[in-house]
Structure 1
Amino acid sequence: MTYFLGIDIGGTVIKSGLYDAEGHEKAVASEVDNGVAAHVGWSERDMNAMWRIVAGTIRRVVAEAGVSADEIAGISFSAHGKGLYALDADGEPVRNGIISSDNRSLSIVKDWKAKGLDAASYPYGYQQLWTGHPVSLLAWMKANEPDNYRRTRHVLMAHDFIRYKLTGVFAAEVTNISGSNLYNVEKGAYDPALFRMFGIDEMEGCLPPVVGSEERVAGLSAKAAEETGLKAGTPVFGGFFDVVSAAVCAGLADPSFVNVVMGTWTIVTWTTDRILKPQGDNWPYIWGRYCMPDRYFVHEGSPTSAGNLEWFVRTFLGGMSDCYRQADLMISALPKAGTGIQFLPYLFASNLGDDLTAGLHGLANAHGLGQVLQAVYEGICFSQHVHLERIVKLSGRDKTLRLTGGPTRSKPWMQMVADISEMPVEVMHVEQSGCLGAAIAAAVGSGVHKGFKEAMAAMCPSGALIEPDAGSFPAYREKYAAFRRLADTLSTLPAGR
């Protein structure tokens, strides 16, 4: 039997999964990678500890699956985007790795925006300026850790570092590095103009060659084989940015579908054959190179999704058995958009104003737990709809949404998404989109499937279609408009965090 090893490198959890050529999961092993937060707003990890965790999960998943190393035909990755994993001339970490949720460069990013650098750089990198970008973190390191900056010889992202540990070869995977603000997305290459704009010219020679998601980088080294228990020479492939991995697992092989991921973050992704620049639309859409030839992906996202519900349930329903099923039953019994209660799902951040915080508005003594829960579900969907509206401006409305993530288990919630978006929804039950997506990349790279379209058809699960309820459209349109008015009004007030 032939298997493919998919390694999922998240910001806090690392997983390794084994899959066959039809996408059947053989086993998954995971371990928490406890981060380091030396200061408020910092988010780091010990890179050597991270490698040990990866090696440990590989050993465990192979043992749990009961397969031999000879049966593993390829290895690939899915990893969090952005961040900074810097190595010195000897290939050793210069400092702790920095995860994309890190906020230390906020003052630098604000200064760049004040100087108009966001608009100046956008036609090159097609990114919004963000504190977690490698470019922002390198600028911070240059200003605050000049010795570490001078020692840096290799600028990597998370999966690039683990791939180096497995092979001894430096490479930057295209779907992730194209979102670094160091890469010209249209030209398909690093751009010296971006290094100059951001004042990090010295780093221009520190970026490794760019490889495709399915491209074979090297065989597993003898040293890594000893540490992981795998066979030396096993092919190791490029991998994915986790947003692209989710899109691949949702079967985004053509522009007919839009992927919506619902987790701690809500992420909306669409793919096309060119970067679109609608006349009169000045929104800075975030673009990157997709895993398929001559294709791009555009995505929108914010941490305004299911993490908010998890907090509500943990805080207020901790004693209720089977609480998520009970919540679904309560919501199903209520008229759609039946109250004026609004929930702003901004416990972690907002996508409608930097200073907006979470809250409930419009409560009255006649309201009970069911109505409040309904408002929480609606608020998360409304926030998601903000992103979807922007993407639909590019894609058009004649699309089907393909939803992945934990909330897909909730039928009333999925119906709510269909009703608010006024678009058909295909619910894709994918438990491990990072590991499965990575395994798909390895299967394509190994030649078992001739391209990603064939691999998606063979390895991705089928979806269950949910049609929108046209009768609910007027009520949801009115309530969504009220949600936007409330957010706009509150965004004018001083920060309440």
Structure 2
Amino acid sequence: MFVGIDVGTSVVKAAAFDRGGRQLAVEARPVGLDLRGGAVEQDMAEVYGAVVAVLGALSARVPEPVELAGLTGQGDGLWLVDSAGRPVRPAISWLDGRARPLVDGWLADGTFEAVFRRTGGALFPGCPGPLLAWLDRHEPGALDRAAAAVACKDMVFQRLTGAASAVTDVSDASMPFLDPRTRSYDDGVLELLGLAGRRRLLAPVADPAAAGRARGDGLPAGTRLTNGPYDLPACALGAGVTAPGDGLLIVGTCLAALVATTSLDLGGEPAGMYVSTDRPGHRLRAMPAMVGTAALDWVLRTTGAGHAELDGLLASSPPGARGVRVLPYFAPSGERAPFVEPGLRAELLGVSLESTPADLVRATCEGIGHAARHCLAAAGLTGALAVCGGGTRSPAWTRLLADVLGRPLRVVEGEAGARGAVLAAAGRHGVPLDTAAWTEPAHTVTPDPSRAAYYDDRHEEHLRLLTTARNRARHG
């Protein structure tokens, strides 16, 4: 069998596939987030323990020899490790907002734009650059003790293989220090962020991706393991999104819009990022919005509803949610795509005593759909669109998204990230797999023409409301 490991923000998963791409089994374990006053951290020992646990449970369920394993996981954040890959301090999540004042300052003095023009990546509080700069000011001792500042999957790869030092890949290195033209670190960016003295903490970029042998934690000792792309490009690979112009929408904790491209445009409004892939010259134009299923989770909790009720609630409120509008920007660090606005917060509009919980839920789902449409347009979508992620498990929400986006959706079921991790590993080792069969969509959802026309008008209203909210966030 082939095993894909996906170390997510709140859930760690391992999936087994046969040679034809059929998903055989999945094991998952939740991992916690420690939220305190804008700080969002994770226990690395808990995360690594969850990886070992899901791999052991998967092997017990599908006792076939493991031919190959691939690794992916959450991107951004900051995972400080010693020379053995063990934690120096708790990991800082990509959801962390402590570096917001630094990003605000860089927005004001031109540093933010200067970095974007060099790398194609728009800084946000939870990406490695601001987090390193924050630690350099507030916890310099932690940086002094660390051997490397890596991404989540890089820590896991080093621990699973027992590698002598940390290594990363071009996708995780893309934000914010990689020059997308040379596929190597841009020391000028480190200087712009005041981090030239911390250059040693950046792990070497393995290009092609690093490969090693498992040392026996969860995976059988000797199993070939590849440190693949992080979760966004891994999902794109698992969904078959490789042709220029084709796109993927991941409806997860983060609402990520990705479009495959062979071009590189460092002009325009600084937002999103270019993610380098394993093929030089091929990139993903990524607009990974902070808004996502976390916004819906908050509204469901607030209204006392559960996820199992979502389809019924959406059916109980008409398109337009009886005038209720939600700007679903709930993240404490604001928004990062398709614009950067650290001070932006969610807004509920048009609510009255006659509004129902169903109206609030539907308005939130519609608001997330409009945010997705905004991101996909900014990313340059011209071709087919695939969708995956936890949000697509709701048939009603998937139909709503097709209507709001006004285009057919190729629905990818199962573990797209883990599937992409395996395909990346197969490419790295020259193992021939039928990529078309591995990436075949489960089905396609087409928009209703009348509802799509209705949402065309509502999208313009969403953009107007958003402009007002952004001005308020900037000027109070």
Partner of 2:129: 135
Aligned residue among 429, 438, 445 for 1:459: 438
Counterpart mapping for 1:480-495 below 5 A: 480-493=459-472
Query: For residues 92 and 489 of structure 1, what CA distance do their matches in structure 2 show?
Result: 46
Take 1:369 and 1:153, find their aligned partners in 2: how far apart are those partners?
50
Match of 1:325 among 311, 326, 341: 311
Query: Is contact 2:370-2:405 (8 Å) kept?
Result: no
Matched, 1:13 2:7: no
> Residue type matched to 1:274 in 2?
S
The residue that corresponds to 2:420 in the other structure is 437
Aligned counterpart in structure 2 of residue 274 of structure 1, from 257, 263, 279? 263
Mean Cα deviation higher: 321-330 or 128-137 = 321-330
* CA-CA distance at 1:165 after TM superposition: 0.9
Conserved in 2, the CA contact under 8 Å of 1:272 and 1:297? yes
What is aligned with 1:288? 275
Counterpart-to-counterpart distance in 2, 1:139 and 1:75? 35
What is the CA–CA distance in structure 1 between the aligned matches of 2:127 and 2:418, rounded to whole Å? 24
Structure 2 residue aligned with 1:28: 26
Distance change in 2, residues 1:245/1:370 (3 Å): same
Identity of aligned residues (%): 24
In structure 1, the residue matched to 2:48 is 51
CA distance in structure 2 between the aligned counterparts of 1:192 and 1:244, rounded to whole angstroms: 25
Question: Aligned-pair distance for 1:90?
Answer: 5.6
The structural deviation recorded for 1:84 is 1.6
**Measured at CA, do residues 95 and 314 of structure 1 come closer, stay the same or move farther in structure 2, by a change above 3 Å?**
closer
Pairwise CA RMSD: 2.8
Give the alignment of 1:412-451 within 5 angstroms: 412-429=396-413, 431-449=414-432
CA contact (8 A) 2:253 2:293 kept: yes
Residues 108-147 of structure 1: pairs in structure 2 closer than 5 A? 108-147=102-141
Is 1:344 the equivalent of 2:327? Answer: yes
Q: Is the 8 A contact 1:175 1:288 kept in 2?
A: yes
Say if 2:164 is the partner of 1:159: no
Q: Distance in 2 between matches of 1:472 and 1:44?
A: 42
1:234-245 equivalent positions in 2, closer than 5 A: 234-245=223-234
1:194–1:469 distance in 2 versus 1, CA, 3 Å: same
Aligned pair 1:389/2:377, yes or no? yes
Contact 2:106 2:112 in 1 (8 A): yes
Residue of 93, 98, 103 corresponding to 2:92: 98
User: What CA deviation, in whole Å up to 9, does each residue of 1:297-342 have, x standing for no partner?
Assistant: 1111223233333333333253x895223224335xx4x4484331
Given that residues 4 and 442 in structure 1 are in contact (C-alpha distance below 8 angstroms), is that contact kept between their aligned partners in structure 2?
no
| 1:407 matches 2:391 | yes
Using a 3 Å threshold, how does the CA distance of structure 1 residues 128 and 18 change in structure 2: closer, same or farther?
same
Return the alpha-carbon distance in structure 2 between the equivalents of residues 174 and 486 of structure 1.
Answer: 37
Unaligned runs of 5+ in 1: none
Question: What CA distance in whole angstroms lies between the structure 2 residues aligned with 1:24 and 1:196?
Answer: 48
TM-score for both structures, normalised by structure 1: 0.85
Alpha-carbon distance in 2 for matches of 1:370, 1:209: 50
Whole-angstrom distance in 2 between the partners of 1:378 and 1:36: 30
**1:132 CA displacement:** 1.6
Return closer, same or farther for 1:29/1:357 CA change in 2, 3 Å cut-off.
same
Q: Which of 175, 178, 181 does residue 174 from structure 2 map onto?
A: 178
1:79 aligned partner: 73
Residue 479 (1) aligns with residue 458 (2): yes
Structure 1 pair 144/19, CA: closer, same or farther in 2 (3 Å)?
A: same
Alpha-carbon spacing, 1:372–1:114, altered in 2? closer, same or farther (3 Å): closer
C-alpha spacing 1:309/1:138, structure 2 compared with 1 (3 Å): closer
* In 1, Cα distance between equivalents of 2:195 and 2:464: 41
Aligned twin of 2:291: 304
**How far 1:256 sits from its partner (Å)?**
4.4
Whole-angstrom CA distance in 1 between matches of 2:238 and 2:226: 17
Q: 1:354 to 1:83 in 2, by over 3 A?
A: closer
| Structure 2 CA distance for partners of 1:365 and 1:268, relative to 1, 3 Å | same
Report if aligned partners of 2:300, 2:361 keep a CA contact under 8 Å in 1. no
Matched, 1:61 2:66: no
Q: What is the alpha-carbon distance in structure 2 between the residues aligned to residue 217 and residue 8 of structure 1? A: 16
* CA–CA distance in structure 2, aligned partners of residues 302 and 246 of structure 1: 16
Deviation at 1:368, TM superposition (A): 5.1
Instruction: Identify the residue that residue 203 of structure 1 maps to in structure 2.
Output: 198
